Amino acid sequence: MPKIAVETFESIVKLAQALDASQVQRHTAFGELVVRFQDMAYGYAYAILGDAQMAQDAAQEAFIAAYQNLDQLREPKAFPGWLRRIVFTQCCRLTRGKRLANQSLDTVQLSSSPPLAALEAQEMQEQIRAAIQALPEPQRMATVLYYIDGYSQNEVAEFLGISVDAVKKRLQRAREQLQERMVEMVQENLQEQRPSRDDEFAKSVQLFDSLEATAQYSQLMSIEQMLIDGVGIDARDENGRTLLHWAAQHGYLDAVELLIQHKADLHTRDDAGQTSLQIAEEMGHGEVVDLLRRHGGGT
């Protein structure tokens, strides 16, 4: 897969964020970011989790979270590192309360008998996985990202937020610890499981993002229509929640801003005693939290 120049991915990020672009244009631009960074996100998650399915789940959730919060990215050129932090957060969420087993490299041996052709595929997969996970974390990160899809050392360095020299040193140390034959198999194995081998990963992320964008736009239009129709802006549902509570829960920044403009009560508490600000904080919607605080929602 051809890689992307810095100025090119920056321009795509800017288009995905552009308020004067159509929803279709923004969504298409973000889809291009998914295609170009999917292997990097998956590889980073796999280096952390050591499990292919969990890594795919974490990478997909990270892209969805990135799409929902793209307006919080202040500098387009920082997208790789910003995405890496989101992937890390999703990995932590998936492993909360769980322990991931690490294996000493001394216990990882590549059998010479029976020959490779005779080994069970599952057994070989486990040997490769164990060899990767046995590497110290810095070396493991660099190794997986470098070999998964032919990323350059510069691209790996940019994603990890380290120097190119540091990447070179980590790769060299990893090669010294892995048998030469194992290095070749690690590369082959990683490339076989990379998301870009087909378009299913990207399609899945883009479908969710499309539904999310449509839902947010539709709900904003619905709120506007309700206000036009004279529905009370602070009307409560069966749980004592108002429209502002709902918008804060889902992180719909535009909807929250619209409701504030129409003088929604920022201090109304639902039946659980929570304000809109408290709900936004609980859900981790930073932009909504900042907006509510600026308008006195915390007082």
Q: What is the pLDDT of residues 108-137, one digit of tens each?
A: 444 444 454 444 566 777 888 888 888 999
Q: What pLDDT was estimated at residue 184? A: 84
Q: What pLDDT was estimated at residue 170? A: 95
- The whole-chain average pLDDT of the chain stands at 82
The pLDDT of residue 44 is above 60:
yes
pLDDT tier, 270 (very low <50, low <70, confident <90, very high otherwise): confident
The verdict on 70 and 151 lying in the same domain is yes
The verdict on 177 and 205 lying in the same domain is no
Report the alpha-carbon angle 110-113-117, nearest 5. 85
The verdict on 88 and 226 lying in the same domain is no
Q: What is the pLDDT of residues 179-238, one digit of tens each?
A: 777 888 888 888 888 999 888 888 878 766 665 665 666 666 667 766 776 667 887 766
Q: What pLDDT was estimated at residue 106? A: 45
More confident residue, 45 or 22: 45
Asked if 266 and 291 count as a contact pair (C-beta separation under 8 A), the reply is: no
Q: What pLDDT was estimated at residue 217? A: 61
What is the tally of structural domains in the chain? Answer: 2
What residue numbers bound the domain in which 79 lies? 6-198
Q: What pLDDT was estimated at residue 271? A: 85
The verdict on 260 and 134 lying in the same domain is no
The verdict on 104 and 173 lying in the same domain is yes
- Picking from 198, 216, 250, the residue at the C-terminal end of a domain is 198
| Residue 299 lies inside a defined structural domain of this protein | no
Q: What pLDDT was estimated at residue 212? A: 63
Q: What pLDDT was estimated at residue 121? A: 61
Asked if 38 and 59 count as a contact pair (C-beta separation under 8 A), the reply is: yes
Percent of the chain with pLDDT over 70: 80
Q: What is the pLDDT of residues 148-158, one digit of tens each?
A: 988 899 999 99
| Residue 239 lies inside a defined structural domain of this protein | yes
The average pLDDT across 236-250 equals 80
- Residues with Cβ within 8 Å of 42's Cβ and at least 6 positions away in sequence, in order, are 55, 56, 59, 148, 194, 195, 201
Q: What is the pLDDT of residues 189-205, one digit of tens each?
A: 888 889 998 888 888 78
Instruction: Residue 67: give its domain's CATH number.
Output: 1.10.1740.10
CA distances in angstroms from 212 to 69, 207, 258, 287, listed in the order given = 12, 9, 19, 17
| Residue 36 lies inside a defined structural domain of this protein | yes
- Picking from 198, 223, 242, the residue at the C-terminal end of a domain is 198
- Picking from 147, 165, 198, the residue at the C-terminal end of a domain is 198
* 231 burial via Cβ count (<10 Å: 0-12, 13-18, 19+): exposed
Q: What pLDDT was estimated at residue 278? A: 92
The average pLDDT across 60-80 equals 90
CA dihedral 80, 23, 297, 63 (to 10 degrees): -30
Percent of the chain with pLDDT over 90: 35
More confident residue, 163 or 3: 163
CA distances in angstroms from 10 to 4, 14, 140, listed in the order given = 10, 6, 28
